[in-house]
Amino acid sequence: MSKSKVIPQMPWTARGFWDLNPKSLLVLVFGLVLFGLGDACLVLANVGSTPWTVLSQGLSQQLHIQLGVMTFIISGLALLSWIPIKIKPGIGTILNMIIIAWVLGAVVAMFDSPDSLMARLFLAVLGIFLVGLASAIYLTCHMGAGPRDGLMVGLCQVTRWRVSVVRTGIEVTVSLLGWLLGGTLGIGTVLFAVSVGWAMQISLNVLLKFFGNAKN
C-alpha cells in the first residue's frame, strides 16, 4: 500500500517533501496551526494528558529524566522507527515540531482552564476533533509527517489497515504502557485514544469526497 493510498492526493498536495509550492505551504501551515489549537484545547481541558504525554510521564518517572527531555527523546525514537518502514522526513516534519509547539504554548499562556467540568469536557472533545481534522489536512499536503504521524502512516502501509484502526491502536498502546510505568490517565486520555483515529479517518473521507483525487 503506497502512502498516497493511505493519505489521498488533494489539489494542494505538494510534488515532493521539500516542494515550496505556496498553496501547499499555506495549507500545511493552516493544518499545523489547527493542530496546535487542538492540542491547546486538550491541555486547557485538564481532564487527562494525551497518550504520548502519559508515556513520557511514565518513562520520565522510571528513568528520572525531565518530562520535556523525555518527550524529545520519544520524538527522536519515533523518527528512528521510520527507517525500517521507509518513511522520509520533509519540510512538514520540521514545521510540525516548530508550529505546533509555538501555537500550543501561546494559546495555553493566553487562556485559563475553565472551572466547569462540562466546559472542560467540551474542550477535550473539541481538541480531539481539531487534532483529527488538522492531521488529515496537513498530511494530505504530502510534505512530511510529524514523528508520531509518520509512524502511523508507515504502519498503515505495512499492515494495510485503515488509518482509524492503526491510529487507535497506537494511542491505546502508548496510553496503557505509560499508565503501567506511572503516567497519569484521565477521561481525556481515554477519549483521545479511542476517538482521534476515527476523527482523522472521517476528516480524510470528507476531504476526499469534496476534493477527490485531484492533483496540482
Tens digit of pLDDT for each residue in 47-67?
A: 988 899 899 889 988 999 887
Percent of the chain, pLDDT > 90? 56
Residues whose CB falls within 8 Å of the CB of residue 210, separated by 6 or more in sequence, listed in order: none
At residue 214 the predicted structure's pLDDT band, cuts being 50, 70 and 90, is low
Quick check: 216 pLDDT over 60? no
Residue 174 to residue 170: CA distance in whole angstroms: 6
Largest CA distance in the chain: 50
The overall pTM is greater than 0.85: yes
How much is the pLDDT for 49? 80
Give mean pLDDT, residues 164-179.
93
Rounded Cα–Cα distance for residues 28 and 91 (Å): 10
Domain regions of the chain by residue span: 17-210
pLDDT at 48: 86
Mean local confidence (pLDDT), 82-111:
89
